[in-house]
C-alpha cells in the first residue's frame, strides 16, 4: 500500500494536481477488465470536460476561424492519438490496474486503453477540484500540442477532402474495407482499402487505428484522382 501510495504521489506530481480524494484517482486508473468499480463513468465525464476545455481554448486563440474549422482542430487534439501522446508523457500505463488477460496482452501500452484512462483522470480531477482545476491541468498537459498549432494548420482531413472532391463531380462516395490487422493486441497495425469504383481508383492505407488507416488510404486515392483529373 505504501509503495502504491508513493507511485500515485509521483503520478500526481507529474499530473500537476494533488487529489483531495485519492479514491477518485484510483478509480480512474481501474480498467473494466480488473473489476468494479472501474473507470468508464469517469471516462464519459472526462471526455465532456476535455472537449469543453479545448473548445474554449481554441475559440480564444483563433478568433478568425469558422465553426467547422474549429471543430476539425479540436478533433485533431481530443481524438485517441492526441490523448495517447499526452498519456505517454505521464507514463500513465505504469499506473493502470488491468485484468490478468489485459496485462498479458500488453494492455498498459494499448493506445485506446491509455486514451480512455486519461479521460477518466480528467473526469476525476473535475469531480475532485472543479472545472477550473481540470481546465488548468488539461491546458498544461496539452501545452506543447497547442503551441504547435496555427491557423494555417487547419485543414480538412483526407476523408472529408475526398468526399467533397467526389460530390463536386457528382460521383459516388468511396467504400472503405478492412484488409488486415497485424501485430500484438497492444500495438496492432490496421490495413484499410479505399475504392472509388466508378473511376477505377483504389489504394490501401496503414495505421495504428482503423481511422488512421482510412485517412491514409483516402489521401492516396485523392492524390491519384487529382493527378488523373487535374
- Percentage of the chain surpassing pLDDT 70? 93
Instruction: State whether 101 and 133 are in the same domain.
Output: yes
Instruction: State whether 146 and 189 are in the same domain.
Output: no
Residue 116 designated active-site: no
Instruction: State whether 82 and 33 are in the same domain.
Output: yes
Instruction: State whether 77 and 109 are in the same domain.
Output: yes
Q: What values do phi and psi take at 66, rounded to 5?
A: -85, 170
Instruction: State whether 31 and 134 are in the same domain.
Output: yes
pLDDT digits (tens, 9 = 90+) for 197-212: 999 999 999 988 898 8
pLDDT digits (tens, 9 = 90+) for 52-69: 999 999 999 998 888 988
Instruction: State whether 140 and 36 are in the same domain.
Output: yes
Instruction: State whether 112 and 135 are in the same domain.
Output: yes
Q: Looking at 137, 152, 167, which one is the last position of a domain?
A: 152
Q: What is the pTM of this model?
A: 0.71
Instruction: State whether 129 and 167 are in the same domain.
Output: no
Instruction: State whether 142 and 162 are in the same domain.
Output: no
Say if CB 208 and CB 190 are below 8 A apart. yes
Which one from 43, 47, 116, 128 is the annotated catalytic residue? Answer: 47
- List C-alpha distances in Å: 152 to 127, 158, 215, 220: 36, 16, 20, 22
Q: Looking at 108, 123, 152, which one is the last position of a domain?
A: 152
Strand-pairing partners, residue 192, are: 178, 205
Instruction: State whether 127 and 26 are in the same domain.
Output: yes
Q: For the domain that residue 131 is a member of, what is the CATH number? A: 1.10.1520.10
Instruction: State whether 118 and 195 are in the same domain.
Output: no
* Residue of 8, 31, 185 lying closest to 104 (CA atoms): 185
**For residues 181 and 209, what is the distance between their CA atoms, to the nearest angstrom?**
10
Instruction: State whether 83 and 163 are in the same domain.
Output: no
Q: Looking at 103, 130, 152, which one is the last position of a domain?
A: 152
Which one from 43, 57, 102, 119 is the annotated catalytic residue? Answer: 119
Say if CB 222 and CB 158 are below 8 A apart. yes
Residue 128 designated active-site: no
For residue 153, the model assigns a pLDDT of 60
**Domain limits at 218?**
158-228
Q: For the domain that residue 172 is a member of, what is the CATH number? A: 3.30.160.20
Number of domains the chain is built from: 2
Tell whether the model's pLDDT for residue 126 goes beyond 70. yes
- Under the banding of pLDDT at 50, 70 and 90, the label for residue 1 is very low
Amino acid at each position: 500500500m505504501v509503495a502504491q501510495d508513493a507511485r500515485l504521489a509521483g503520478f500526481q506530481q507529474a499530473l500537476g494536481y494533488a487529489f483531495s480524494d485519492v479514491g477518485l484517482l484510483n478509480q480512474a486508473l481501474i480498467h473494466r477488465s480488473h473489476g468494479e468499480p472501474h473507470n468508464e463513468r469517469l471516462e464519459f465525464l472526462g471526455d465532456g470536460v476535455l472537449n469543453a476545455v479545448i473548445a474554449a481554448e481554441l475559440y480564444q486563440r483563433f478568433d478568425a476561424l469558422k465553426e467547422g474549422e474549429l471543430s476539425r482542430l479540436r478533433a485533431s487534439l481530443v481524438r485517441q492519438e492526441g490523448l495517447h501522446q499526452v498519456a505517454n508523457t505521464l507514463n500513465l500505463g505504469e499506473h493502470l490496474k488491468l485484468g490478468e488477460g489485459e496485462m498479458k496482452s500488453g494492455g498498459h501500452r494499448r493506445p485506446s486503453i491509455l486514451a480512455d484512462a486519461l479521460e477518466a483522470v480528467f473526469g476525476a480531477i473535475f469531480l475532485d477540484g472543479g472545472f477550473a482545476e481540470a481546465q488548468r491541468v488539461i491546458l498544461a498537459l496539452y501545452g506543447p500540442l497547442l503551441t504547435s498549432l496555427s491557423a494555417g494548420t487547419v485543414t480538412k482531413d483526407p476523408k472529408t477532402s475526398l468526399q467533397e472532391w467526389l460530390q463536386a463531380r457528382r460521383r459516388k462516395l468511396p467504400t472503405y474495407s478492412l484488409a488486415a490487422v497485424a501485430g500484438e493486441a497492444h500495438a496492432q497495425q490496421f490495413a484499410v482499402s479505399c475504392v472509388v469504383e466508378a473511376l477505377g481508383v483504389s489504394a490501401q492505407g496503414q495505421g495504428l487505428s482503423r481511422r488512421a488507416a482510412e485517412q491514409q488510404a483516402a489521401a492516396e486515392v485523392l492524390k491519384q484522382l487529382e493527378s488523373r483529373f487535374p
